[in-house]
Amino acid sequence: MGRQGVTIGVLALQGAFAEHINILTRLKISHLAITPLLVKTPDDLQRCDALIIPGGESTTIALLAKLAGLLEPLKGFVKEKPVWGTCAGAILLSEDVQGAKKGGQDLLGGINVSLERNGWGSQVESFEAPLAVHGLRDPDTPFNGVFIRAPVILELKTDPSRPPIDILARISPPLLPAVGSGSVSGSENGDLLDDDRTVVALRQGRLLITTFHPELTRDDRFHDFFVRNCVYGG
């Protein structure tokens, strides 16, 4: 990575990788040349300064990564370089997943959260919500969050050996689903402003997760945020 140029890979095994490439291709950050790269092999990954893991199906992405010999290189990459996971990508970057399929699922880890897959419900319960996002360009304009079988962040965990977690966006409490059995239902959510389950975007050092899909909008502000803050450190 030079001061003038950066190669940003998009893991291209399954899911919405083309949409991320499209936004990266038209992203303009003054004096910075951004080279987007589709990542399908360990050699591709080696050429990257940073990586985006798209939405899709986390179990399928992990399985294909294993078959491509990418699982271990990806785990190493996450420990050293900037990585952003959207939706399924966020699941892969988390340390713990509830509702994983029997026998568990392979994760890359890196972000100290526990989350629940499909915590907002099924495909037909997909929704969009305007989000106030801390740190984006043009902060008074809400970001349209597109949630498709999205995970719910259940708990942020503190780990003194890791960078602190910076919460970038929360969803309005009335939208919170009832997560798991016996948990709080939508109508009781009025007091949950500080509930970890309202968090839908966060940064931990060089790592970023969004439980929704910025790549499915025409808004490039999250890609801009990732490059400026996680890749170039602010």
Ligand X SMILES: NC(=O)CC[C@H](N)C(=O)O
**Sites of contact with ligand X (CB under 6 A):** 55-58, 87-88, 91, 117-118, 148-149
Q: Is 72 annotated as a binding residue?
A: no
How many CB atoms lie under 10 A from the CB of residue 40?
A: 17
Min. distance of Cβ 148 from ligand X in angstroms?
4
- Do residues 78 and 204 touch, judged by C-beta distance below 8 A? no
Helices assigned H by DSSP within the chain: 17-26, 42-46, 58-67, 71-80, 88-93, 221-225
- 85's tokens: 């996971």
Angle (CA) 62-223-61 rounded to 5° is: 10
Annotation says 87 is catalytic = yes
Nearer Cβ to ligand X (165/216): 216
Give the separation between CA 18 and CA 11, rounded to whole angstroms.
10
Min. distance of Cβ 91 from ligand X in angstroms?
5
Q: Is 149 annotated as a binding residue?
A: yes
Question: Residue 65, Cα to own-chain centre: how many angstroms?
Answer: 17
What is the tally of helices (H) and strands (E) in the chain? 6, 12
Min. distance of Cβ 149 from ligand X in angstroms?
4
| CA separation, residue 112 to residues 77, 80, 81 (Å) | 17, 16, 16
Q: Is 228 annotated as a binding residue?
A: no
- Which residues are CB-neighbours of 180 under 8 A, at least 6 positions away? 98, 116
Min. distance of Cβ 225 from ligand X in angstroms?
19
Annotation says 230 is catalytic = no
| Active-site entry in 19, 87, 223, 230 | 87
- 96's tokens: 């713990």
Min. distance of Cβ 62 from ligand X in angstroms?
9
Nearer Cβ to ligand X (34/52): 52
CA dihedral sign, ordered 196, 200, 204, 205: negative
| Active-site entry in 20, 116, 215, 223 | 215
Q: Is 117 annotated as a binding residue?
A: yes
| Active-site entry in 48, 116, 213, 230 | 213
Strands 143-147 and 33-39: unpaired
Give the residue ranges of the annotated binding site for L-glutamine: 56-58, 117, 148-149
Give the residue ranges of the annotated binding site: 56-58, 117, 148-149
Q: Which residues does the annotation mark as catalytic? A: 87, 213, 215
